[in-house]
Amino acid sequence: MGKMPEVAPREAAACEEVLLEQEQVLRYKESFDSAAALELGRALAGLEKEFSETYVVQIVRAADAEVVFQWLPDDKGTRNLDFAAGKIAETLATGHASCFRQIEALKEGEGLDALFAEAPERLISAGAFPIYADGELTAVIGVSGLHQGLDHEAIVRALEQVLGKSVRRLPVALA
């Protein structure tokens, strides 16, 4: 397990508030189908020039965990796809962004070792976000390749762009 970010419990509580707001606001009203996945995936790929590194993007359907969109830059490979898949697995299991339980642990002043031990295939780190449509979890978007919470930031920017909405940013960087 990597090093936990230096975040005080009060800062973690502020992160939780913002994250829950992001999850509530960045939702699709009616449906999220393969055409919507393509639009969101393309928006995320288009944001790459705003970051200093490249990243992979996967969008997985919640009903059957099938990949409905994937973007793999030339300099990325299996390692980043595996990280994205681990984050997606965490979000599918919890219904929250993959950093949610990380924030909860930081809020309580706890580490993540026990959480990783109970589900080693899941990655409790910033970079996957639930896609809700008409109140149902319909898909999860995962990003891997950036650092210091920027995987999460890229997803939020793309969702804001596609949905025409705006949300507050996490007040501190999460790994």
Q: Is the pLDDT score of 49 beyond 70?
A: yes
Query: Average of pLDDT values for 157-172?
Result: 96
Rounded distance, CA 30 to CA 125, Å? 29
Residue 141 carries which side chain, given as an amino acid letter? I
pLDDT level of residue 1 (50, 70, 90 thresholds): very low
Helix (H, G, I), strand (E, B) or coil at 17: helix
Give the model's pLDDT for residue 54. Answer: 96
**Tens digit of pLDDT for each residue in 86-138?**
999 999 999 999 999 989 988 888 777 777 777 778 888 899 999 999 999 99
CB 63 within 8 A of CB 77: no
pLDDT level of residue 175 (50, 70, 90 thresholds): low
Side-chain-facing half-sphere of 123: CA atoms under 13 Å: 20
Residue 92 carries which side chain, given as an amino acid letter? L
List the Cα angle 156/91/128 in 5-degree steps: 30
Q: Domain locations in the chain? A: 9-163
Predicted TM-score (pTM) of the model is 0.93
Query: Average of pLDDT values for 42-58?
Result: 96
- CATH homologous superfamily for the domain 9-163: Haem-degrading domain (3.30.450.150)
CB 148 within 8 A of CB 1: no
Give the model's pLDDT for residue 105. Answer: 87
Give the model's pLDDT for residue 76. Answer: 96
Helix (H, G, I), strand (E, B) or coil at 109: coil
Give the model's pLDDT for residue 45. Answer: 95
Q: Which residues, 6+ apart, have CB-to-CB distance to 114 below 8 Å?
A: none
Residue 128 carries which side chain, given as an amino acid letter? A
Q: Is the pLDDT score of 57 beyond 50?
A: yes
Helix (H, G, I), strand (E, B) or coil at 167: coil
Side-chain-facing half-sphere of 77: CA atoms under 13 Å: 1
Rounded distance, CA 41 to CA 122, Å? 22
